[in-house]
Amino acid sequence: MDHLGGIVTGPRPGRMRDRRGRGPRGPMALPGPLSPQSVPAHRPPRASFDLLVGDILGALEPHFTVEPDHVEIVVEEAPLLPKEWTDDVPLSIVTTVPEGHRVVLFRIPITQRSGSTEELEELVWSVVLDRLAEVWHMSPDDLDPRPR
């Protein structure tokens, strides 16, 4: 028995546990009746990455309307590489399709090379800007809408 006579109320003291490396659990991590309304719903890593790419492409929208070459941005999990591949895994590739160009971003190599969400965002920005600059034959600095 405890000093309250067997009545236990309120949350456990301390932090929520991260069991077996699967991320935080409990009412503060997942949506539900015990979660506050301000807590965003849990998103899988793929959906979070897609939202990040969508936000970056939204910021670059004026360039897509001005440039004559059609460019399609696609997100894939990882590239299919031959067994004898010895170089670093590519973060993205550019291919030519009948409609124009296709930029393929590889989510897993990009996320593994970044340690935090800020590094991930910066890496995705640099990969997208580099590939679009390659397609449109201009400098990545000219494409970047962020303040310097």
Alpha-carbon distances, residue 116 vs 28, 110, 111, 134 (angstroms): 21, 12, 9, 27
pLDDT in tens, 48-92: 999 999 999 999 998 888 887 889 999 999 999 999 989 999 999
Alpha carbon 117 to its chain's center? 8
pLDDT in tens, 99-148: 889 999 999 999 999 989 899 999 999 999 999 999 999 899 988 888 87
**Pairing between β-strand 71-76 and β-strand 92-97 as defined by DSSP bridges:** unpaired
Which CATH fold would you assign to the domain 45-143? Zincin-like (3.30.2010)
Ordered by start, the domain boundaries in the chain are: 45-143
**pTM (whole model) above 0.85:** no
CA–CA separation, 13 and 7 (whole Å): 15
pLDDT in tens, 7-59: 555 555 555 556 666 666 665 555 566 655 655 556 778 889 999 999 999 99
**Pairing between β-strand 100-106 and β-strand 71-76 as defined by DSSP bridges:** parallel
